[in-house]
Amino acid sequence: MSRRMLAAALILLALVGASGCTPPVEPFSVSHVDRSVSHASLYPTAVDVQKIGKYSGGAKSGAGYFYDDVLEYRVWLHPENGAEPLAGNEDYFAAFAEYEPALEYSRSHKGAEAPLVLIRQVESINEPSPGVFEWIKEERITEWQPKWLQDGHREPDSIPRFLQQHAPTQR
């Protein structure tokens, strides 16, 4: 192969590589990371923007009543709903420091869910059966609906006050 043909082949490979082909990702892992912060978000910004996209895709879902830290906002993408199949037929997510870019991403990508928020709970409340509450004092990471952040930040007296307000009445 002549130098000229080799150069042309390398240019063609570079163009194909730069054409927007997105590399594949592992199932239930991150495909896109946005650590930008505007400080004008409706909800709290992630506590450590350098860790955005580094948390495991496997997290619990909901519960706990209170949160301690926002870790990241996530947009899950589902190939069965039209998302690009970057992880074959498995789901994957995009991770963000703030809610608004996650919302925009979810609206502009086929097969995307509305944003969720990954939170850390240092202490939380378990409800093993309706109206029965337990104070859990171990760290837990879970995904929540962003709207649950509005009244859910744990303060030093949040859990004792909640348990007192929801104590079973004695007859």
Ranking 21-25, 58-62, 69-73 by mean pLDDT, the lowest is 21-25
What is the distance between the terminal CA atoms of the chain, rounded to a whole angstrom? 93
pLDDT at 167: 85
| pLDDT exceeds 90 at position 30 | yes
pLDDT at 141: 95
d(CA 93, CA 53): 9
Q: Where are the domains of the chain?
A: 25-120+140-149
| pLDDT exceeds 50 at position 13 | no
What mean pLDDT is reported for the chain?
87
Average pLDDT over residues 71-80: 97
Amino acid (one-letter) located at 134: E
| pLDDT exceeds 50 at position 16 | no
CB distance 130 to 96 below 8 Å: no
Question: Which residues make Cβ contacts (< 8 Å) with residue 155, sequence separation at least 6?
Answer: none
Average pLDDT over residues 146-164: 95
d(CA 148, CA 73): 13
Other Cβ atoms closer than 10 A to 139: 11
Using one digit for the tens of pLDDT, what is the confidence trace for 107-138? Answer: 999 999 999 999 999 999 999 999 999 999 99
Instruction: Report phi then psi at 68, rounded to 5.
Output: -105, -45
| pLDDT exceeds 90 at position 73 | yes
More confident residue, 165 or 23: 165
